Structure 1
Amino acid sequence: MKKWTLFIMLLAMAAVFAACGSKEESKSGAKEQNDTNKQAEEITIKHEYGEAKVKKNPGKVVVFDFGVLDTLDELGIKVTGVPQATIPAYLEKYAGDEYTNVGSLKEPDFEAINELKPDVIFISGRQAELYDQFAEIAPTVYMGVDTNQYLESFEKNMNTIGEIFGKEDQVKAELEEVDNQIAGVKEKAESIDKKALIVLANEGKVSAYGPKSRFGWIHDVLGFKAADENIEVSPHGQGISFEYILETNPDILFVIDRNAAIEEDSEPAKETIENDLVKKTKAYEDGKIIYLDADYWYLSGGGLQSIKAMIKGVEEAY
């Protein structure tokens, strides 16, 4: 009888230990699963200035590139902080009090950014030299567009945003729309023997941009022949005179008015551009001086909304 009682006690103890072990294994398994899920929710984005580990669907988003901002707006993604000093008119809702002002494009308010404790920060060329300071606060993704391969660079940026926010299918559909739009304009541009010159007007001064430059995708992507193939490639363009415009004598003159983008009461570029010299060009005589929207071209290029509007603006040349 004692042996039988002892046997039952041993069985009971074994059952208890087994149950405890099962619970521990369950807890351990759950922890491992949670760790795996946590890793799965984080993606590594490689970019020109390094790499950033970003949470999928980040909640607090700070944006210093208006092309990225207009893309997030198009995709219906919430934004927390934006530089409100100069916001394109079509994105003016982001100047509202519900968004935190994080400074200007060239002078970020790092204190305000730090207080937000963002999950991700998006920057581009205007903030590139400050990358390390941004990265100390939160994962920072550089979203500048490479002018040497504009379309590929733009599409890469859009797909990156799609991956971060789980909007891959929507981005794919948007890019297909852009590709179709480009194809239509390029077909027209390549079918005519017309040469174009792109200039930026700024307080009475003029700079020219050619292939592979900041605005050069008019040539490289949209297929417009360049009136001058040897324009210096520079972020600020090649300084030119109005005599140069006459000598180059473009069939189409695309004008971007910088002042219109950054100053409310600036003198229209038309008053500077359409002088006695420029009036002798084929572009003026044929009514082919095209004033491109500076909000898109100067402030927010490289976004899903802006690129469609930019292509449409160029199409006015027809």
Structure 2
Amino acid sequence: MNTVRRSRLFLAVAATSMLVLGACSTDTTVDAGSGDTVTVDTANGAVEVPANPQRVVALDNTSFETLKAFGVEPVALPKPIMPYEGFEEWIDNEEILDVGTHREPNLEVVSEAEPDLIIGGYRFQEYTDELNRIAPTLDVSPTDVGYIESLKSQTSALGEVFGKQEQASQIIAQLDAAADDAAARTGGETVFLANVSAGKIDNGAQRIGRLMEPLTLTDVFAGEAGDVHGDSGLAPETVAQANPDWVIVLDRDAAAGEPGAAPAKVVFDAQEAFANTTFTTRNQIVYLDPYFYTRESIQAYTQAFESISDAFANAG
């Protein structure tokens, strides 16, 4: 391991330790003092769980990629809302039970899975009390404020629970490196955070505004209304008039598997109003991974920062 890598990894581990020591009720702290159990301070208070649990029900989509990286195969999952790409072996495995969506989860299936641990929270947050009656339930999902830092706290906590501390530190270091590089390459440019939903373009700041936390970019619609789940669409002429330097695009249609939906790039290319904008003429549009909306994991954000960094490095 070279000197730069060692230094970056050391800083990531140190930062994680500071987060653990300074966490409040919505952050994550870990105390693995007993050896056979781990106490995690979650959004709902301290929860004691088995160390390295063998039967895990995973409901929080932001945890899926980290669990997979740790070699943890859940016994039950919300299959309809999972990104299919990268999780085919879990979705197609009939021995892994299907809990359904967060709108109507089948809690009987969760109980049938006989879990030692349930990783809940995020879209399943309102069911925490009911899930706790089945098995210890962790809500270590990222928070709306300080999302990027809380992704790191989540990863650190899961590393403690599953005895994968070193691997967790490496995952965190990769995010730090990608975010730092993207931050260094941005310099106050204006940006439109777009969401393509139902074939229309909306303000996506409510969903992907978290990307701005480490970046030096200016959102052209900051503070203005823009419901990412709305169906009214944002007038292309409004975007063109704002004329942002860059656009970062979330393709919600692709992630949600909307049948017959046009890819986000096709929707953007079809907008005549965008023809003379800066972002079009300079080809300064960053399309996030099509499954970003259903991933939202530390790995998804690492990849997003890498894409932003590459795009800015090749601009001009």
Question: Could you tell me how far apart the structure 1 residues matched to 2:247 and 2:56 are?
Answer: 39
Which aligned pairs between 1:186-225 and structure 2 lie closer than 5 A? 186-190=183-187, 193-210=188-205, 213-225=206-218
Of 234, 242, 254 in structure 1, the residue corresponding to residue 236 of structure 2 is 242
- Give TM-score scaled by structure 1 length: 0.79
Determine if contact 2:120/2:137 at 8 Å carries over to the other structure.
Answer: yes
Aligned equivalents of 1:128, 1:50: Cα separation in 2: 14
Q: Does 1:279 align with 2:272?
A: no
Alignment partner, residue 221 of structure 2: 228
Question: Residue 303 of structure 2 aligns with which residue?
Answer: 309
Deviation at 1:129, TM superposition (A): 1.6
1:179: Cα distance to partner? 1.0
Match of 1:60 among 48, 55, 62: 55
Alpha-carbon contact 1:209-1:232 (below 8 Å) kept: no
Residue of structure 2 equivalent to 1:174: 171
Structure 2: unaligned runs, 5 residues or longer: 1-31
Deviation at 1:308, TM superposition (A): 2.4
SS at match of 1:294: coil
1:103 matched to 2:100: yes
C-alpha change, 1:239 and 1:265, in structure 2 (3 Å) is closer
Change in 2 beyond 3 A, CA 1:78/1:217: same
Comparing 305-314 and 226-235, the one that deviates more: 226-235
Shift of 1:74: 1.1
Give the match for residue 257 of structure 1.
251
1:127–1:316 CA distance, 2 compared to 1 (3 A): same
Which of 288, 295, 303 is the equivalent residue of 1:300?
295
Asked if 1 retains the 8 angstrom alpha-carbon contact of 2:65 and 2:297, the reply is no
Per the TM alignment, residue 81 of structure 1 is displaced from its structure 2 partner at its CA by: 1.3
TM-score (norm 2): 0.79
Does the 8 A contact of 2:251 with 2:290 survive in 1? yes
SS of structure 2 residue aligned to 1:107: coil
In structure 2, C-alpha distance between the alignment counterparts of 1:167 and 1:270, rounded to whole Å? 39
Aligned to 1:119: 116
Q: Deviations over 1:81-100 (max 9, x none)?
A: 11112321122221122422
C-alpha distance in structure 1 between counterparts of 2:171 and 2:33, whole Å: 30
* Residue 87 (structure 2) pairs with residue 91 (structure 1): yes
Larger radius of gyration: 1
Match of 1:42 in 2: 37
Q: 1:222 to 1:90 in 2, by over 3 A?
A: farther
Structure 2 distance, partners of 1:107, 1:143, is 22
Tell me the CA shift for residue 260 of structure 1: 0.6
Matched to 2:136, the amino acid is P
C-alpha separation in 1, matches of 2:198 and 2:88: 25
Per-residue deviation, 1:58: 0.7
Instruction: Work out whether residues 252 and 317 of structure 1, in 8 Å CA contact, stay in contact via their aligned partners in 2.
Output: no
What CA distance in whole angstroms lies between the structure 1 residues aligned with 2:238 and 2:277?
11
The alignment's C-alpha RMSD in Å is 2.4
What's the % identity of the aligned pairs?
25
| Change over 3 Å in CA distance of 1:313–1:265 after alignment to 2 | farther
Residues 36 and 51, structure 2, Cα contact 8 Å, conserved in 1: yes
- Deviation track 1:213-260 (CA, whole Å, cap 9, x = no partner) reads 431132212333322332348674896322221122111111111111
Distance 1:216 1:46, change over 3 A: same
Matched, 1:149 2:142: no
Counterpart of 1:290 in 2: which secondary structure?
Answer: strand
Separation in structure 2 between the aligned mates of residue 137 and residue 128 of structure 1, nearest angstrom = 15
